[in-house]
Structures are given as C-alpha cells and as structure tokens.
C-alpha cells in the first residue's frame, strides 16, 4: 500500500513535469528558441494563484485569472523581446532569457518577499481517499494528475488533429513556405509562445497547493525540465512523456531509497541516456 502511494506520487509528479516539458520542447522545436524564463512562468503561475486566491478567497477563480494574466505577459514578452531572438544564435537566447530570470526573481522578491508561503488546498478537494486503516491519499493530488492528463491529451489533439496544429507544424518545418501559403507565421508564433507560457503558469498554479510557493521554485524545476527534454529528445512530445514519467519514478524511488541522493538519481539516468541514445528517446538517430 505504501508503494501504491509512492506510485501515485510518481505519476503525479511525472505528469506535471510532462506538462511543463512539453511546453519547453514545443517552444524549442517550433520557435527555435531556448527559453530559460520558462521556469519563471511556472513561478509566476504559482505566485499568481497564491495571491489571487488570497485576494478573492476563491481558488477556482484564481486559476483562470492566473492563466489569463500569464497569457497576457507571454504576449507582451513575445512581441517585445522573444521575436527578436528567433534568428539569433542560441547563445544570445540563453543570455537574454537568463536576464529575464533575474528580472522575474527580483520582481517576485519585491512584490511577494522571500518567505515560503503555503497555498490552501481548495475546500472542494481537501479530503483524502482511505486506502487502508492507516493510509489515505489526498484527492487533490489525483485531481492534479487528471488535469495534467487532460491537458496532455488536449495538446496532442491540437497539434496533430487540428488545422491550427497543422499550421504550427508547417511553420516549424518551413517558415517561408508556410508564410507563402497564407499562414501568418508571426501571429502564429506569438500565439504559440503565449499559449506555452499560459500552460506553464497553469502547471504552477495547480501545483501550488502541493509544493507551496518559494523563491527559486521556477529555476529548480526548469533544470529538471531540461533533463526531461534531453532524455526525451527535443521536439518530441512522446519522448517528453516517457522521460517525464521516468524521472517521476526515479525521483520518487530515489527519495524512498536514499533521500540524500534522490536528486542525483535523476542526473544519473540522464547520463545513461546520453551514452546509449544521445539524440533522445523520441527522436531518430
């Protein structure tokens, strides 16, 4: 039973990672931009959820508000800054988005301070399902798992089954051709970026009751996302899913076996993949 709980935790963490990493890998695969500020949007989503929930007293109101605000910030960011990076070397993309991380961290510090804040689990889901006489599992975590799965399915369906998705994939493989076919590539890219950021913020928002909000939360998870993308392969959603779940399990297993070394376990998995299949699980050689 104890292991069932760990299994559920692993899946929940893995799916949350998947949500985040698919955004990262799509933005890299489609827009060609490596965006370090990806983690910052996770943080923005979490802090917005914390603040708006306190402000309105209603967690369920806070979530869509947070998504909307994050989407707006994403729009502004893309139009003002990110679109100038598309044609530039990865080096400068890394540097500029690194600068953005610094800005976002300090803004967070100015507006919300540096303490850790808990976020109350919404009353509707604030109960546990009993598994045995002594053990039970929090329903909210199940909720997060389900939401992540639903969004993953939505993402998949959008990219592969809709016209917009086709346009996105076209814009990815050949910008000029897509443009000459009448697709407004700049507008599309703006939309993709803002949507990616909104998605990331959503992940942060719904995870907030579980993880609390704290300084550096975005950067911490960004690096894990990098590991997922490396293992899964850039641009591959399938790879991101497999890798996220693998990391979820490695991390949870690591915590059970030797808490001190759990963080290291994840990187060891990455090292092995680098030796065996450096292009990532989801990609062809």
Partner 1 sequence: MTPISLPRPILLLAVVALALFPLAASTFYVQLGAKIMILAIFALSLDLLVGHSGMISFGHAAYFGVAAYALALISPKYEAANLWLTLPAAMGVSALAALIIGFFVVRTTGVYFIMVTLAFAQMLYAVFHDTKAGGGSDGIYIYVRPELALAGWKPLDLENPTQFYYLALIFLIVVYVFLNRVLQATFGRALAGIRLNEQRMRSIGFPVFAYKLGAFVLAGALAGLAGYLAACQFGFVNPDILAWQQSGIVLMMVILGGMGRLHGAVLGAFSYVVLQEALSAPPLVGAYAKHWQLALGGLIVLIVLSLPRGIGGLLDGTLRRKNRPGEIP
Q: Which spans of this chain sit near partner 1 (rule: CB under 8 A)?
A: 28, 34, 81, 84, 90-92, 94-96, 98-103, 105-107, 109-110, 219, 223, 226-227, 229-230, 234, 260-264, 267, 270-271, 274-275, 278
Residue 229 CB, shortest distance to partner 1, in Å, is 7
Instruction: Break the chain down into helix, strand, coil percent, rounded to 5.
Output: 80, 5, 20
C-beta closer to partner 1: residue 119 or 222: 222
Map tokens 């369920």 to a residue. 60
* DSSP category for residue 213: B
Residue 285: Cβ within 10 Å count:
5
Map tokens 């559920």 to a residue. 8
- Joined tokens for residue 174: 């050949």
Residue 63 CB, shortest distance to partner 1, in Å, is 28
C-beta closer to partner 1: residue 192 or 202: 192
- Joined tokens for residue 15: 């799916």
Residue 100 CB, shortest distance to partner 1, in Å, is 7
* DSSP category for residue 120: P
Residue 274 CB, shortest distance to partner 1, in Å, is 5
Residue 285 CB, shortest distance to partner 1, in Å, is 13
C-beta closer to partner 1: residue 95 or 139: 95
Residue 24 CB, shortest distance to partner 1, in Å, is 10
Residue 105 CB, shortest distance to partner 1, in Å, is 7
C-beta closer to partner 1: residue 192 or 234: 234
C-beta closer to partner 1: residue 102 or 181: 102
Q: Provide CB contacts within 8 A for 44, sequence distance 6+.
A: 70, 73, 104, 201, 204, 218
Q: What is the dihedral of CA 146, 222, 215, 49, to 10 degrees?
A: -30
Q: In sequence order, what are the beta bridge partners of 97? A: none
User: Alpha-carbon distance 101 to 218, whole Å?
Assistant: 9
Computed from CA positions of residues 228, 231, 235, 238, in that sequence, does the dihedral angle turn out positive or negative? Answer: negative
Q: Is 9:256 a contact under the CB 8 Å cutoff?
A: no
C-beta closer to partner 1: residue 97 or 121: 97
Residue 49 CB, shortest distance to partner 1, in Å, is 23
Of the candidates 207, 208, 225, the one whose C-alpha atom is nearest the C-alpha of residue 112 is 208
- Joined tokens for residue 100: 């953005």
C-beta closer to partner 1: residue 145 or 200: 200
C-beta closer to partner 1: residue 138 or 254: 254
């Amino acid at each position: 039973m104890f292991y069932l709980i760990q299994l559920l935790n692993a899946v929940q963490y893995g799916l949350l990672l998947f949500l985040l990493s698919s955004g990262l890998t799509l933005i890299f695969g489609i827009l060609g931009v490596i965006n370090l500020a990806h983690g910052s949007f996770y943080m923005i989503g979490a802090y917005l959820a914390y603040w708006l929930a306190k402000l309105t007293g209603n967690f369920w109101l806070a979530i869509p508000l947070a998504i909307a605000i994050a989407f707006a910030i994403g729009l502004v960011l893309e139009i003002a800054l990110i679109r100038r990076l598309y044609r530039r070397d990865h080096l400068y993309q890394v540097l500029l988005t690194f600068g953005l991380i610094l800005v976002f961290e300090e803004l967070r510090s100015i507006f919300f301070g540096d303490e850790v804040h808990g976020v109350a689990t919404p009353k509707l889901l604030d109960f546990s399902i009993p598994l045995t006489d002594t053990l039970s599992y929090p329903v909210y975590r199940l909720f997060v798992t389900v939401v992540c799965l639903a969004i993953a399915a939505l993402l998949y369906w959008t990219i592969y089954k809709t016209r917009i998705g086709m346009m996105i994939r076209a814009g990815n493989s050949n910008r000029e051709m897509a443009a000459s076919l009448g697709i407004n590539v700049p507008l599309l890219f703006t939309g993709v970026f803002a949507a990616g950021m909104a998605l990331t913020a959503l992940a942060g928002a719904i995870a907030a009751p579980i993880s609390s909000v704290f300084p550096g939360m975005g950067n911490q998870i960004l690096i894990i996302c990098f590991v997922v993308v490396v293992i899964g392969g850039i641009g591959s959603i399938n790879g991101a899913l497999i890798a996220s779940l693998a990391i979820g399990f490695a991390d949870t297993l690591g915590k059970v076996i030797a808490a001190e070394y759990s963080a290291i376990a994840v990187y060891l998995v990455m090292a092995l993949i680098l030796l065996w299949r450096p292009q990532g699980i989801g990609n062809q050689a």
